[in-house]
Amino acid sequence: MIDTGNKTRFPVAAPDGHIASVLLAFLTTAGLFYVNIMPALVSGLVEGLGFSKQAAGHVASANVYGAALGAFGSVFAIKHFHWRPTAITALLMLIGLDILSSTMTDSTILIGARFIHGSTGGFLVGIGFSVIARTRVPDRSFGMLLIVQYGLGGVGLMFLPKLVPLYGTQVLFYALIAFSLVTLLMVPFMGTYAPKPKTALSNDSGSEDKVYLKPLLMGLFAVFFFQAANMGLAAYVIELGKSYSLATSDISTTLGIANWIAVGGAALVYVVGIKFGRLLPLMGGMVVTVLGMLMFKLSASESMFFLANVITGITWAFLIPYLLGMCSAFDGHGRMAALSGFFSKMGLASGPFIAAQVVGEGNYDLIINLAVSGIVLCTLAAFLPARLLDEKETAQKAPDQGVLE
């Protein structure tokens, strides 16, 4: 639904409508879209520019470590800058940096350029997270974010690895430029999104600036472990498939289709929201994630490789909206959402970095074991904040439902 009763020259999407969710998803994806094509990026640097597996992993991790720095900076900037002009400036900078990156062939210089690019993109994602946190149901908006990321990421993973041998590594950066341009055109149609006056986890004093520190920290670390575990494995999934003698074309097709199927996980969050709370879907999803990761050990079978990608893709898209939405419940300005973005990017960067240190000439079993360990740590960290949030929201709903105390 479009709200035309505004004073701007553009029709503005209703702030909590489906169109607004799509627009916010593009805004929040633009700064970090390279993560969704990370396997293609790593493989493209190895094949297209002749980088070592370790150097390619370092380029990828530098990009996301920069994003973590930018996201951390956004936590403090959110209250002092208007989000719209800030987002436009960041998008223009991203386009310029991607153009420069497309001309670079030295790994050291590219690492520096991608770190700066990541810092800019991370700041933009932090702004996007803060805006999503101001919507009525952030979990749903995060679900739409994953739908867009997996849908378009699937396209990128299916076609970009096949295009690198034909057009060079530059095609990867051209894809990022195109996404930023499309997002830039969407910004004028987004609403104002003023800060919320009250949050689900306001403390007893009613102050929106104070939060429950222990569950917040546990929730943030749950995001970190989850993202590190998944991205550490995902960054090398193409090379893992090659180590089992699977053809690059078959691997890229598998990843593309698996990403599209994984959209179902994010769509389920968007439809269901928090009707069943957060604890139950989080705990169940973590168990399935571990099983899916262990299936990568059977990748000699192409069908098992496909199934492992589908399962971990679905659970990744299903669980991260709940984890981010859980952190978003801690304040009204969206600063905790931006802080969760920082922890998310630290995880997304640390996963490939750690994997790059241990991969050697193909130590993929160890990478899988480390990923499983990360999910176990995530499960332990997420339990308390998810349970607390469910209890608080149940208590708030009880008076409205006529429950006697």
CA–CA separation, 215 and 225 (whole Å): 15
Please give the pLDDT value at position 340. Answer: 83
Cβ neighbours for 260, distance < 8 A, ≥ 6 positions apart:
150, 151, 154
pLDDT at 275 over 80: no
177-214 tens-digit pLDDT? 999 999 999 999 888 776 665 554 544 444 444 456 78
CA–CA separation, 163 and 6 (whole Å): 44
Q: Which amino acid, one-letter code, is at 185?
A: L
Residue 12 dihedral angles phi and psi, to the nearest 5°: -110, 135
Please give the pLDDT value at position 395. Answer: 72
User: Which CATH number do you get for residue 133?
Assistant: 1.20.1250.20
Please work out, in degrees rounded to the nearest 5, the angle formed at the alpha carbon of residue 224 by the alpha carbons of 172 and 61. 30
Q: Which token pair is 108?
A: 């050291």
3-class DSSP state of 111: helix
Do residues 338 and 75 touch, judged by C-beta distance below 8 A? yes
Structural domain boundaries, residue 41 = 12-396
pLDDT at 402 over 70: no
Give domain status of residue 170, yes or no: yes
Give domain status of residue 222, yes or no: yes
Give domain status of residue 56, yes or no: yes
pLDDT at 6 over 50: no
Residue 230, CA distances (Å) to 55, 157, 224, 399 in order: 20, 16, 10, 40
Q: What is the pTM of this model?
A: 0.71
CA–CA separation, 225 and 371 (whole Å): 9
pLDDT at 396 over 80: no
**Mean pLDDT in residue range 299-317:** 92
Number of domains in the chain: 1
Do residues 176 and 38 touch, judged by C-beta distance below 8 A? no
22-79 tens-digit pLDDT? 899 999 989 888 877 877 888 888 888 888 888 888 888 888 889 888 988 888 887 7
Give domain status of residue 3, yes or no: no
Give domain status of residue 1, yes or no: no
Please give the pLDDT value at position 45. Answer: 87
Give domain status of residue 150, yes or no: yes
Residue with tokens 């003698």: 245
Give domain status of residue 7, yes or no: no
Q: Which of 41, 14, 141 is nearest to 98 (CA)?
A: 41
Give domain status of residue 405, yes or no: no
Please give the pLDDT value at position 146. Answer: 78
**Mean pLDDT in residue range 137-144:** 76
Do residues 160 and 106 touch, judged by C-beta distance below 8 A? no
**Mean pLDDT in residue range 85-106:** 93
Q: Which of 319, 312, 339, 338 is nearest to 386 (CA)?
A: 319
